[in-house]
Homo-oligomer: A and B are copies of this chain.
Amino acid sequence: MAVYTEVSDDDLKALSAAYNIGEIVSCKGIAEGVENSNFLIETTSGRYILTLYEKRVDPKDLPFFLGFMEHLAKAGCVACPVPIRGRDGEALRTIAGRPGAIITFLRGIWPRRITPEHCAELGTVMAKLHNAGLTYPGTRPNNLSVEGWKQQAGRIAKETAAKVDITLPSLMRTELETLAAAWPQLKSTPDLPSGVIHADLFPDNVFFLDGKCSGLIDFYFACTDFLAYDIAISLNAWCFEPDGAFNITKASRLLTAYESVRPLSALEKETLPLFARGSALRFMLTRLYDWVNTPPGAMVKPKDPREYLHKLNFHRRVKNISAYGLA
């Protein structure tokens, strides 16, 4: 629900001049995504997405994101929007006073009601993305890993957290300590491989057509981290029911499909519950921050952090990967 920057007639004229994409005949702001401003642009040659990068995105990270999308497109195994280069050869430029890029339009609809088949499709595509990422030369630290969680937690007063849920202050403290102590050093080994992860594979970033995944979007959290951590994020985002129940069938389909493309090592399987727990904490903390800092009545409704508190508590009780439906 987000268009933060307005695009003027003059901006559109400048765009037409800068790109070889034909004449712009329509430009509509899209009410999706909360980080950037997105516009659906129709030209005499086709449809494109214009993205203007807003405050939460660091402009110096943009070449990494756009480069990765180009890399995936060239690899040809994972469909995603592709940055369009202008007449000057550049994909990234200043548009309406902000860093911006034009990317190709990706057909598909993100699923509102998740089925086990969606989870299997996701598993396959995520594994392909991880394989393709191994040959991408760029790197970007995950600033929303352990150190980032500590910073995030430090920005939320105990009293504020306690008002959301009475258990939160002590849970945040003990989880941060436990996870920081147990978290592996990021160093790619065959046992615990790292590489480029999407890091935000929620349903609204995964498009489907006729039951098949038609592509992934929104690579603006992509970073270098453990590949299995990406799986852990998806277990949280795709395998819990609206009533909070963990759907082991969905998890099993996701993991089995993933393994059909890239088998998990014994250490990855062993570490997955820890990663799921860390990923739950990561989204709980960012949601908690938005929850307590969004003014009442704002159109962008913050998401309830307690959803991820519940998921975190689920993973704290998990002993091994069999809880996720994998032998």
By a beta-carbon cutoff of 8 Å, the part of chain A in contact with chain B is 1-3, 6, 8-10, 12, 24-32, 40, 42, 47, 105, 107-109, 111-113, 209, 294-300
Contact = CB atoms under 8 A, between A and B. Distances in A.
Nearest to A107: B25
Contacts of A47: 42
17 contacts: A3-B31, A8-B112, A12-B109, A24-B109, A25-B108, A26-B108, A27-B109, A28-B32, A29-B30, A29-B32, A30-B30, A30-B31, A31-B31, A42-B107, A295-B295, A295-B296, A297-B297
Given A25-B209, A26-B107, A298-B298, 11 more contacts: A1-B31, A25-B109, A26-B108, A28-B30, A29-B31, A30-B31, A30-B40, A31-B31, A42-B47, A295-B295, A297-B297
A1 B209 CA distance: 27
A2 B30 CA distance: 10
B9 A113 contact: yes
A97 to B, nearest CB: 14
Contacts of A299: 1-2, 298-300
A interface SS class? loop
Contacts of A105: 26
A92 to B, nearest CB: 23
Contacts of A297: 294-298
B108 A6 contact: no
A9 to B, nearest CB: 5
A37 to B, nearest CB: 9
A294 B294 CA distance: 15
Nearest to A7: B112
Q: Which 3 A-B pairs have the closest CB atoms?
A: A295-B297, A299-B299, A29-B31
A8 B113 CA distance: 8
A170 to B, nearest CB: 31
Contacts of A3: 1, 31
A3 B33 CA distance: 12
A174 to B, nearest CB: 33
A180 B321 CA distance: 76
Contacts of A30: 28-31, 40
Contacts of A2: 31, 299
Query: Which of A1, A10, A105 has the most chain B CB atoms inside 10 A of its CB?
Result: A1
Contacts of A10: 113
A9 B112 contact: yes
A211 B311 CA distance: 55
A112 B24 CA distance: 15
A267 to B, nearest CB: 37
Q: Find the residue from A24, A107, A297 having the highest chain B CB count within 10 A.
A: A297
Nearest to A113: B9
A108 B29 CA distance: 14
Contacts of A112: 6, 8-9
Nearest to A106: B26
A72 B238 CA distance: 47
